[in-house]
Homo-oligomer: A and B are copies of this chain.
Amino acid sequence: MPSTTKPMLDTYPKSINLDRARLAAVIDALNDCAQACTACADACLSEDMVGELTRCVRTNLDCADICTTTARVLSRHTGYDANISRGLLEACATACRSCGDECGGHADEHEHCRVCADACRACERACRELLATMS
């Protein structure tokens, strides 16, 4: 089932100075990544070799927090401040890059790291593409 992000964004009664379809796709990518990172941290905890995955858990937790906050900020348009959005998107792309690399390093052994790495990379790409449209 598709998310309600795009239908919701279409109801905003004033103008938005970013493309609504692209914005909705970024918010969905952020929420997907936050969920994947939260679940991957927990799946790492359930592995017998959790002692070798502690850096992965930690990066997952950071990435989940940052993606959730970025999705919230991008869901607001009233009194838009480009500096806040831009700084946060850059921080978020950095976190997604780190987490994608970390999970990517365990992708062959742990299916949860493989799915999570894909979500992180898709999210990093979406953040960077949105940043490129914000002059």
Contacts and interface: CB of A to CB of B under 8 A. Distances in A.
Interface of A: 1-5, 7-9, 11-14, 27-28, 31-32, 35-36, 38-43, 45-48, 50-51, 54-59, 61-62, 64-66, 68-69, 71-73, 75-79, 81, 83-84, 87-88, 90-91, 94-95, 98, 110-112, 114-116, 118-119
27 contacts: A3-B28, A3-B32, A4-B35, A5-B35, A8-B112, A11-B112, A11-B115, A12-B39, A12-B42, A12-B43, A13-B112, A31-B31, A39-B75, A42-B58, A42-B78, A43-B78, A50-B51, A54-B78, A55-B78, A57-B78, A57-B79, A61-B72, A62-B76, A62-B84, A83-B94, A84-B91, A91-B91
Given A65-B72, A98-B84, A119 B55 contact: no
A84 to B, nearest CB: 5
State the copy count for this chain: 4
A78 B39 contact: no
A12 B83 contact: no
Contacts of A94: 83-84, 87
B91 A35 contact: no
Contact of A36 (B8, B56, B61, B88): B8
